Amino acid sequence: MNFLFLSKLLPLFIYPLGLTCILLLVSLFLSFRRSRLTYLPILLSLILLVTAGSPRVANYLLQSLEWQYLPPPEMPTADAIVVLGGGTKSAAYPRVLPDLNQHGDRLIYAAQLYQEGKAPLIILSGGRIEWFGAENSEAQDMVEILQLMGIPPEAIIEEGNSVNTYQNAIYTQKILEENKINSILLVTSAFHLPRALMIFQRLGINPIPAPTDFFVSEQELAAVNYSAESKILSFIPKANSLAHTTLVIKEYLGTLIYRLRGWL
């Protein structure tokens, strides 16, 4: 098994949902043994899901990543806009064209920056993992969507080989050198930007951060304390809050693994 597969598989055992499944299996095993400890893994599972699924907890964790780099009042100009993959779904049947997923703001923001004259080129970086069976790379899907937004083909450079953030930076660096591009705006989701920036900087590239796709705004932070009702509801677990907590754990874990591999 290669590193890419293991990097997708092993973290499942420490994400809240995966860990909960493991604890429930332990509880099932203990019940067969008629152990007095049968209910302990169940209690731990409940605590884990309630905590990780709390909107209040999820918002706090997300803010710790997303608010490290906030958009400036006026975005400076650069030679190119680099958009990292992760914002599209392939045009597999019955979709008639590539779809934007929950991180699709990356493409919308890149198109806005281009139309505002912040850079004359957009570099799209993102491939597909072959064992998921997709035919087109993410970069190809992003090209199609940007052209639907009115971005001319000559303003787009496609990089469709990378399958992780480190490779995004490596392959983008080659494009920058080949095209003598000195400055870039790095567009990705706000939660992903801290790790992405560190990788680019490690390679000697100093991008201008251009975060988008914020899950947590001042409105979400204020909402959990706005009234007695909202305070109560902020402690009730929700599926999307569980997903957001998992997203944060994934980013911090990815940062740790990248450091261990010498990529940061």
- CA dist., res. 211 & res. 135, Å (int): 29
Q: Tell me what pLDDT residue 132 has.
A: 63
Average pLDDT of span 93-112: 94
Per the DSSP assignment, residues forming a β-bridge with 254 are none
Say whether 155 sits in a helix, a strand or coil. helix
Q: Could you tell me the two tokens for 16? A: 């809240």
Residue 104 and residue 189 in contact, taking contact as beta carbons nearer than 8 Å? no
Q: What is the DSSP letter of 234?
A: T
Computed over every residue of the chain, the mean pLDDT equals 92
Average pLDDT of span 85-103: 91
Per-residue DSSP letters for 185-216? EEEEETTTHHHHHHHHHHTT--PEEEEE--S-
Q: Over 90: is that where the pLDDT of 193 sits?
A: yes
Cα 224 → chain centroid? 24
101 Rama class: left (phi>0) / alpha (psi -120 to 50) / beta? beta
- CA dist., res. 202 & res. 194, Å (int): 12
Q: Over 60: is that where the pLDDT of 1 sits?
A: no
Which residue carries 């918002």 as its tokens? 59
Q: Could you tell me the two tokens for 59? A: 């918002």
Confidence of residue 166 (pLDDT cuts 50, 70, 90): very high
- CA dist., res. 135 & res. 72, Å (int): 38
Whole-number Cα distances in Å, 14 to 8, 23, 157, 193, 211:
12, 11, 37, 23, 27
Domains of the chain by range and CATH? Answer: 3-67+217-260 (no CATH), 80-212 (3.40.50.620)
Q: Tell me what pLDDT residue 235 has.
A: 87
Condensed to tens digits (0 to 9), the pLDDT of residues 52-79 reads: 999 999 999 999 999 999 999 999 999 9
| Nearest partner of 129 among 160, 169, 151, 108, judged by Cα | 160
Confidence of residue 125 (pLDDT cuts 50, 70, 90): very high
Q: Over 70: is that where the pLDDT of 29 sits?
A: yes
Predicted structure pTM score = 0.91
Q: Over 90: is that where the pLDDT of 9 sits?
A: no
